[in-house]
Amino acid sequence: MRRIALVDANNFYVSCERLFQPTLEGRPVVVLSNNDGCAVARSPEAKALGIQMGQPYFQWKDRVRTRHIVVLSSNYTLYADLSRRFMGVLSQFSPLQEVYSIDESFLDLTATPGDPILLGQAIRQRVRQWVGLPVCVGMGPSKTLAKLCNHFAKKRREFAGVCDWASLSREHQQRLLQETPVGEVWGIGRQLCQKLETLGVRSVSDFLQQDPQWLRSRFGVLLARTQRELQGQSCLALEEVSPPKQQIQSSRSFGQPVTALADLREAVTLYTCRAAEKLRSAGQRAQLIEVSIRTSVFRPDPQYGRSIAVALAHPTDSTRELLAAALQGLREIYRDGFQYAKAGVRLSALSVQGTDTLDLFSRPEAGERETRLLQAVDTVNRRYGKGALAPGVAGLRNPRSWSMRQGTKSPAYTTSWAELPRVRA
DNA sequence: TCTGGGGTCCTAGGACCC
DNA sequence: TCTGGGGTCCTAGGACCC
């Protein structure tokens, strides 16, 4: 029987912030999404105050002062760096690792000797000591069961942060399945949960009793697979090497509504630069770029939103070529007289560099100067910060009138010499 | 007044083929 | 009046994840 572990950091963003501001321990802390829009991470104290995951800031803003909540803008540079260290520590426990997201990782511990619970505790302890983050460990014969056990490890005190499916008695397993709502299962989201509930399927145990054929025909192959995974049959492989991306996007909501085409051009330019940078660092090329703009979906007045895909003559990673296509697309979909709230670009039809089929008229050697130019731009931007070098159409104002709101962002403690934490004497 | 960003995969339906 | 069966490919939309 395989033993898959899922290691997941507790309130990851909040824990990262607390690491550098220990005075935040024990206090309600909330980290906001981009543009200071919604709550995306909450300390247990903030959860206890009833602030929901994803809840818009303005809906609970009045509680900030009365309940002394600490509100922080998200600091992805910091979180990404701590995530890298966290994953590094985990890799010491098994060579078979799948980094699943910024704050969680699967490990195949099948071949790792020793008592699983003690092993889980050792993982917790080492991550705590070496990186400073609190984590919980769930283990099971499939990824879905490992996820579910991680949920138990987090929510139920009796597990002390580590839950291994195989170490539980049959009765204990049954009780947990009966007591857990089906919506907690990985792969069962809001819509599916609602549909299942109207059919009388409320607990994970109910779900396991459904006829697989019926599940498959009614809900599709994914849910049937989820059921098998919960029965202990491993259907999802550990993906040690992440497959090449199929799309790369960059989009942002604006801090202020935007009406002028010139401002949208600035935004689309910056997003295209960012997407092209990601493309190059992945060693990929794109043959399709899609531009989208839209007004706020939350306003009652007439809305406008459109996207357009512009095909390129050949796969490219050149900011210049991608930008020309993006701005041409933007011209076609822009309509005067609307208050735009968001814009974005998406690159797709991606191929790995060097595997492209050249057309009759392409001259690969002509791209060499451009390649060197782009490498230089990427190097400068890595050293001097995002957007240090950008096309002129991006404009010179900074911050821009429409830049996203980030009212209370913490310093880049671990990635910028200028922002290193200082030790007070 | 104020509501994130970046991904993946599946399915249904239409166009088209023999 | 009555008009097959089986396949591929593409796209849009919808669901899921963190």
Rounded distance in angstroms from the CA atom of residue A242 to the C1' atom of nucleotide B14: 34
Fill in the DSSP letter of residue A254: E
Chain B footprint positions (protein CB, under 7 Å): 1-12
Rounded distance in angstroms from the CA atom of residue A203 to the C1' atom of nucleotide C10: 39
3-state secondary structure of A271: helix
Residue A425: predicted pLDDT: 61
Rounded distance in angstroms from the CA atom of residue A6 to the C1' atom of nucleotide B8: 19
Rounded distance in angstroms from the CA atom of residue A247 to the C1' atom of nucleotide B8: 10
CA A163 to chain centre: 25
* Angstrom distance (rounded) from CA A228 to CA A347: 35
Residue A360: predicted pLDDT: 61
Report yes or no: A329 and A292 within 8 Å, Cβ to Cβ. no
Contact between the CB of A296 and strand B at under 7 Å: yes
* Angstrom distance (rounded) from CA A306 to CA A288: 16
Rounded distance in angstroms from the CA atom of residue A81 to the C1' atom of nucleotide B3: 28
Contact between the CB of A287 and strand B at under 7 Å: no
* Angstrom distance (rounded) from CA A326 to CA A335: 16
Residue A162: predicted pLDDT: 98
Rounded distance in angstroms from the CA atom of residue A222 to the C1' atom of nucleotide C17: 13
The DSSP secondary structure of A79-94, one letter per residue, reads: HHHHHHHHHHHHTTT-
The alpha carbon torsion through A190, A191, A192, A193 (nearest 10 deg) reads: 40
**What is the value of pTM for the model shown?**
0.92
Residue A363: predicted pLDDT: 62
Residue A248: predicted pLDDT: 93
Q: Which residue is nearest to nucleotide B1 (CA to C1')?
A: A58
Contact between the CB of A40 and strand C at under 7 Å: no
Contact between the CB of A226 and strand B at under 7 Å: no
Contact between the CB of A86 and strand C at under 7 Å: no
A224 closest-nt by C1' vs CA: B10
Residue A24: predicted pLDDT: 96
Residues of chain A with pLDDT under 70: 354-366, 424-425
Residue A364: predicted pLDDT: 63
A247 closest-nt by C1' vs CA: B7
> At A100, which amino acid appears?
Y
Rounded distance in angstroms from the CA atom of residue A167 to the C1' atom of nucleotide B8: 33
Contact between the CB of A412 and strand B at under 7 Å: no
A74 closest-nt by C1' vs CA: B4
Q: What angle do CA A333, A339, A344 make, to 5 degrees?
A: 50
3-state secondary structure of A227: helix
Rounded distance in angstroms from the CA atom of residue A272 to the C1' atom of nucleotide B15: 33
Average pLDDT, chain A: 91
Rounded distance in angstroms from the CA atom of residue A307 to the C1' atom of nucleotide C11: 14
Chain C footprint positions (protein CB, under 7 Å): 14-18
Rounded distance in angstroms from the CA atom of residue A201 to the C1' atom of nucleotide B15: 40
CA-wise closest residue to A93 among A76, A105, A102, A81 = A105
Report yes or no: A373 and A367 within 8 Å, Cβ to Cβ. no
* Angstrom distance (rounded) from CA A212 to CA A225: 9
Strand order across the A340-352 sheet: A248-258, A340-352, A284-295, A305-316
Radius of gyration (C-alpha) of chain A in whole angstroms? 24
